[in-house]
Amino acid sequence: MLAGSAWLSGPKTLAALMQMHSTAAPANTLNVSTLANFVDPLPIPAVAKPDGMRSLPSSRKTKLPYYRFAAQPVEMKIHRDLKPTRFWSFGPAVPGPTLEMRSGEELLVEWANELPQQHFLPIDYRLHGAEGTPQVRMVSHMHGARVPPDSDGFPEDWFVPGKSVLYHYPNQQDAAMLWYHDHAMGINRLNVYAGLFGAAIVRDKVEDALNLPSGKYEVPLVLFDRMITPEGQLYYPVSGKERAPWVPEVFGDAILVNGKLFPYLEVEPRKYRFRVLNGSNARFYHLALQNGLGLQQIGTDQGLLPAPAAIKKIRLAPGERADVVIDFSDSRGEQIVLKDDAVAVMQFRVSANKVSDSSSLPAQLRPVPRIPESEAVKTRLFTLDEYRSLKGDPVLLLLDGKYWHDPISETPALNSTEIWTFVNPTDDTHPIHLHAVRFQVLDRQHYEPWTYQTKKEFRFLGPRVPPEPYEAGWKDTARADSKMVTRIIVPFNAYPGKYVWHCHILEHEDNEMMRPYEIVAGT
């Protein structure tokens, strides 16, 4: 499989992990903990407005709302005491404008590349899709959207500065928080790090009828971490190897919320709905309120849960979303810090005034019938593979031992249901994302990797563990945890055509941990 290379696969030793995760960060990278906390208000991304009506090229008669999102350089202040930071964005700030959509109402988006000809982050030309290509390329993927393949943002469909594409979003799906981001082959991690992403929200009548907090009481929280120089500029770490700058993960100490570092939000003593997105390249978040106040998670990636789930922490892998209600009614006059483990992220300033609250938090939200395993017509098993070179070369990551350019091996039939099983022998948790479809997590089970790798036999170390209540809804991204077998059940009721599935740690995705798959129409 890896002929001609001296590679080892499977669990890595601690020394290898330390070497793998080491980066040549400059000594003068800013320690953001020295900055004043909670001096900037939380910005709320603007809601995108249509730029008129247009027709699909294939149907000149039907006019649809048309939006234009242009990727362009911007500068913005991420903290009161820092100089403006250079980003790339689809609007005047990062994240880009929020795209609001209604279920069943089609729209068009023109994605335009108005970026410069040279990238300001380090490209690794050895990576698949980067060798021999222009420095600046982009293609936009609407993460979580059920769309035809020619509007999904296939990684090889990138385009250069001065070009644009028109994508069609039918919005034939339930209310949910989606997000859009760059998906260009080989430089996706750099384009997203530069700022090419934003939130998108699909709404429908079922959700409207629940009377959840809305308007100014519904707030997007888009989280993304970065490394910052003392001059306030983005720093993306490199391996220290001139011809192989790729690093396996990037973790910054600057956690931005809607583009601000340590922001505060003034809230009233009542219920708020927060739409939380992990837009980081590799960081997993464990968010909790410092005063121990509980939260109610009402939704996940693909919409509402069957019922609210009482939680103390919001757990999000890269690409995942959480729909959360926080009731501040018993916290009048308090200042409450939201933390990621021990690190301050933002502050809520609860006013002391009495207010009325006409919103609801229903005991039942939206039915999510569990898919019986008997509906699956096929079960597929995949290994999540990490390789390191005996010569000290950077790690390589594959799905089921296959490279991106290997022939397509997953061809589910349109409207069929399959079980996909992920076997993870590595020391990393890999968040696995499938384009175009939604799925349900069946269970996870600890196993002994060595027995499987040597004998292809499973030695399980405990029972199957069903998903937690907060994860029991419809998903499009799911954690495949270390030393565990994770099973999902997937109805492939999207559109026929070619899509992709991949690890949503962007550094992994850019180094071969992504594969095409094809939904095949029946004959």
Q: Are residues 285 and 137 in the same domain?
A: no
The pLDDT assigned to 516 comes to 98
Q: Are residues 49 and 198 in the same domain?
A: yes
- The candidate with the shortest Cα–Cα distance to 485, out of 379, 403, 384, is 384
The pLDDT assigned to 60 comes to 66
Which residues form the domain of 259? 215-350
Q: Decide which of 164, 183, 205 is a domain's last residue.
A: 205
The pLDDT assigned to 391 comes to 64
Question: Is the per-residue pLDDT at 371 higher than 90?
Answer: yes
Residue 205 is inside which H or E element, if any? helix 205-208
Q: Are residues 67 and 164 in the same domain?
A: yes
Q: Which residues are 245's β-sheet partners? A: none
Confirm if 277 and 321 have CB atoms less than 8 A apart.
yes
Is residue 31 a part of any domain in this protein? no
Q: What is the pairing mode between strands 96-102 and 285-289? A: unpaired
Q: pLDDT tens digits, residue range 70-86?
A: 999 999 999 999 999 99
User: From CA 34, how far away is CA 55, in angstroms rounded?
Assistant: 53
Confidence band for 67, pLDDT divided at 50, 70 and 90: very high
Q: pLDDT tens digits, residue range 185-215?
A: 999 999 999 999 999 999 999 999 999 999 9
Is residue 37 a part of any domain in this protein? no
Q: pLDDT tens digits, residue range 99-150?
A: 999 999 999 999 999 999 999 999 999 999 999 999 999 999 999 999 999 9
Is residue 424 a part of any domain in this protein? yes
> What is the SS3 string spanning 73-116?
EEEECCCCCCCCEEEEECCCCCCEEEEEEECCCCEEEEEEECCC
Q: Are residues 387 and 301 in the same domain?
A: no
The pLDDT assigned to 326 comes to 98
What does pLDDT average to over the chain?
93
The pLDDT assigned to 26 comes to 55
Q: What angle do CA 359, 365, 369 make, to 5 degrees?
A: 170
The CATH number linked to 50 is 2.60.40.420
Q: Are residues 199 and 224 in the same domain?
A: no
Q: Decide which of 205, 236, 259 is a domain's last residue.
A: 205
**How many distinct structural domains can be found in the chain?**
3
Q: What is the dihedral of CA 10, 16, 21, 27, to 10 degrees?
A: -170
Q: Are residues 189 and 307 in the same domain?
A: no
